Amino acid sequence: MRILLVDDEEALTAPLHRMLCREGYEVDVASDGQTGEQMATQQVYDLLILDWMLPERSGLELCRSVRSRDRQVPVLFLTARDTVDDRVQGLDAGADDYLVKPFELKELLARVRALLRRSPRQESPEVPRLCCGDLALDVSNQLAYRQGRCIELSEKETQLLAVLMQHPGQLVSHQALQSQVWGLANPPSSNVLAAQIRLLRRKLEAPGETPLIFSVYGKGYRFQAADSV
């Protein structure tokens, strides 16, 4: 699950980012409201954690903007504003929960779990398996199957392969892969992406088997399914 954290207090975002990542979440971080809105527009998130007072654009404005496009994604406000009127204003803007600073990280984590459990997005289970030609991908268990082989994949390899298999025969740009797999906040270098693709090819393409992933020089990659046998 992917979370967007928008807060300009590095003393808070750094430990919170580490804690959420340890819990298995993918976390993107923005330090101002304008950047946060751009990221929320370009990427699908399972949860937004927003500070109220932000540079460029307030968390309240950001929440309203997100709600005008997406009525499902849960929003958790972090703020020092603790009056009843402030809470009402935040909830009216579309927030689902409200946590007053300072707070314990354990409490925030509990709120995160509760919001994700209640999220309408979780009512539709992920497609457990993608199939293209003679290749099948079990996303949940990070396993691929080809020509009778069971291939163990890393988390990043699974995510890269899933994106490519969802667009068979289409060019998927370097930028699209970087943003969907690593997030906009911490994109890897082109060398890291190329290395991950190289490792993925080695696992999927045994000697004598038809190649599946093709490089489009300077642009990205294309997944071309081999015929089932």
Q: Which residue, 123, 143, 172, sits at the end of a domain?
A: 123
Q: Is residue 39 a contact partner of residue 86, using CB atoms and an 8 Å limit?
A: no
Q: What pLDDT is recorded for position 119?
A: 64
The arithmetic mean of pLDDT across residues 8-28, rounded, is 87
Angle at 26 between CA 126 and CA 200, to 5 degrees: 70
The arithmetic mean of pLDDT across residues 22-39, rounded, is 88
Higher pLDDT, 148 or 47: 47
Q: Is the same domain home to 116 and 136?
A: no
Residue numbers of the domain that contains 114: 2-123
Q: Is the same domain home to 86 and 17?
A: yes
User: Do the domain assignments include residue 228?
Assistant: no
Residue 33: pLDDT above 50? yes
Q: Give the count of beta carbons closer than 10 Å to the beta carbon of residue 216.
A: 12
Q: Which residue, 85, 105, 123, sits at the end of a domain?
A: 123
User: Do the domain assignments include residue 92?
Assistant: yes
Residue 124: pLDDT above 50? no
Helices then strands (H, E): number in the chain? 8, 12
Q: Is the same domain home to 119 and 21?
A: yes
Q: Is the same domain home to 199 and 145?
A: yes
Residues 6+ apart with CB under 8 A from 71: none
> pTM for the whole thing?
0.53
Tokens 């069971």 locate to 150
Q: What is the mean pLDDT of the chain?
A: 84
Residue 224, Cα to own-chain centre: how many angstroms? Answer: 25
Q: What pLDDT is recorded for position 125?
A: 46
Q: How far is it, in rounded angstroms, from Cα 104 to Cα 50?
A: 16
Q: Is the same domain home to 104 and 163?
A: no
Residue 228 pLDDT grade (very low, low, confident, very high; cuts 50, 70, 90): very low
User: Do the domain assignments include residue 229?
Assistant: no
Q: Is the same domain home to 156 and 119?
A: no
The arithmetic mean of pLDDT across residues 86-112, rounded, is 81
Q: Is the same domain home to 6 and 119?
A: yes
CATH of the domain at 176: 1.10.10.10
Q: Is residue 98 a contact partner of residue 83, using CB atoms and an 8 Å limit?
A: no
Q: What pLDDT is recorded for position 144?
A: 92
Q: Is the same domain home to 93 and 134?
A: no
170 by DSSP, 3-state: which?
coil
Q: What pLDDT is recorded for position 151?
A: 93
Q: How far is it, in rounded angstroms, from Cα 212 to Cα 171?
A: 13
Q: Is the same domain home to 105 and 148?
A: no
Q: What pLDDT is recorded for position 5?
A: 92
Residue 92: pLDDT above 80? no
Number of domains in the chain: 2
Q: Is residue 94 a contact partner of residue 75, using CB atoms and an 8 Å limit?
A: yes
Q: Is the same domain home to 138 and 61?
A: no
* pLDDT tens digits along 154-179: 888 999 999 999 888 999 999 888 88
